[in-house]
Structure 1
């Protein structure tokens, strides 16, 4: 009876000890496994600005490539931070697989407008973050001038986001200028006329008036008769021929 009781109580302990040993052995073996290759995956498909080679150059640890380094020696957080230093990267995730592959998943910043200043030019994304121009790709986004300060960049970002939320307007508006009076003027794709939008106040109402005018002008086939379309004033659209 004593032997059976001894076996009854010792068997779980032996099995638990065996599991701990196997886990430790597997973990140690996995940690000593070396990185065999690097894989880079871009979210949302297009990777216009970054190339796989550019990302590989960011995956450097102790001034050398991570390939052939043991997994236990990797600083994954540090590698993620290195990738995030690239101005084209919005989010990054770096992890090592069981089979020795270091995988990097990247979401690139998406430009919504190109700002032109006196001596420089750059893109901004939907959050107003500046993105440098690239030799690899030129984004087809509205050109914006007359905007320089952080407050102005924040406002133009909100304005462009409103334009991009409308399927018609995001194709129609090709450029935006902010004049000395602090008012916005739009260049459009469908003609040589300008849209005088005014300041950023009541932007939603102004866009609704503009869309209603477009519907009527296209139906009447009179859109080409105008030089300016002014939506600055309350409850009306003023046009000049």
Structure 2
């Protein structure tokens, strides 16, 4: 009986020794990894619609280095605060969501999903900006220009709370631009949105010489349905460049003005 008890204890001690050995090896591996520098940095930049990004890999690396106050590749893995970097990147006007993590080989991976512009506001001597799908402001980039409609004209005074005011011209143009962005036909057609002093809108297409008198920003869906029908069925029969303006202000009609 005593021999069996001794054997049981010997087995337990042996297993404890194995576990202890594994823990020691693991601890030293973690310590060794924590005390080594980041080997390489991989930056992945994506946009939800595949459009050209407004910022590049170099911009992200520079931004991260400013956050850390040093070069990320000089950082010890154990000192790298991924959450801090993610939080700072998420606060950028260009970035919708950021993920930062370390791979087993010491590579730091930074994934940035960018905000996608749907319209660009030009305001003369004042600095322009983009709006994304949710109405967030995106600064104009020196690296690239988004291929979206340009909005200009009599836009009125700008304030940061414009999205909450459905009568604000910036908000009204955003609503119009969102309709354009969500429709493949209109997205390929509309190049410029000009707001007149009276608040009515004239749009300039990418092809043809006809400008589009959209009028007041009301019954938007109805007006766009008329416009698309005219381009698809009426224009091929009447001929391109026949009119100077296509007027959408008439009920259920598209009126050509020479």
Q: What is the CA deviation profile of residues 102-136 of structure 1, one whole-angstrom value per residue up to 9, with x for unaligned ones?
A: 22112233322221114222222222222222222
Find out whether 1:176 has 2:159 as its counterpart: no
Q: Distance in 2 between matches of 1:116 and 1:205?
A: 27
Q: Distance in 2 between matches of 1:153 and 1:103?
A: 38
Find out whether 1:208 has 2:225 as its counterpart: yes
Match for residue 36 of structure 2?
33
Q: Distance in 2 between matches of 1:62 and 1:105?
A: 17
Find out whether 1:91 has 2:97 as its counterpart: yes
Q: Distance in 1 between matches of 2:146 and 2:178?
A: 16
DSSP 3-state at the match of 1:64: coil
Aligned residue runs from structure 1 range 5-16, under 5 A: 5-16=8-19
In angstroms, what is the RMSD of aligned CA positions?
A: 2.6
Match for residue 166 of structure 2?
none
Task: Answer yes or no: is the 8 Å Cα contact 2:210–2:244 preserved in 1.
Answer: yes
Q: Distance in 1 between matches of 2:52 and 2:36?
A: 31
Aligned residue runs from structure 1 range 59-208, under 5 A: 59-60=64-65, 62-120=68-126, 121-145=128-152, 146-148=154-156, 149=158, 150-151=162-163, 152-208=169-225
Deviation, structure 1 residue 46:
6.3
* Segment drifting more, 216-225 vs 10-19: 10-19
Task: Answer yes or no: is the 8 Å Cα contact 1:30–1:98 preserved in 2.
Answer: no
Task: Answer yes or no: is the 8 Å Cα contact 2:121–2:130 preserved in 1.
Answer: yes
Deviation, structure 1 residue 8:
5.0
Deviation, structure 1 residue 51:
3.1
Task: Answer yes or no: is the 8 Å Cα contact 2:202–2:212 preserved in 1.
Answer: yes
Q: What TM-score does the superposition give when structure 1 sets the normalisation length? A: 0.85
Q: What TM-score does the superposition give when structure 2 sets the normalisation length? A: 0.80
Match for residue 60 of structure 2?
55
Q: What is the CA deviation profile of residues 161-211 of structure 1, one whole-angstrom value per residue up to 9, with x for unaligned ones?
A: 221232322222111112233222211123222212233332222211111
Q: Distance in 2 between matches of 1:55 and 1:219?
A: 47
Q: Distance in 2 between matches of 1:195 and 1:134?
A: 29
Report the CA distance shift for 1:56/1:219 in structure 2 as closer, same or farther (over 3 A). Answer: closer
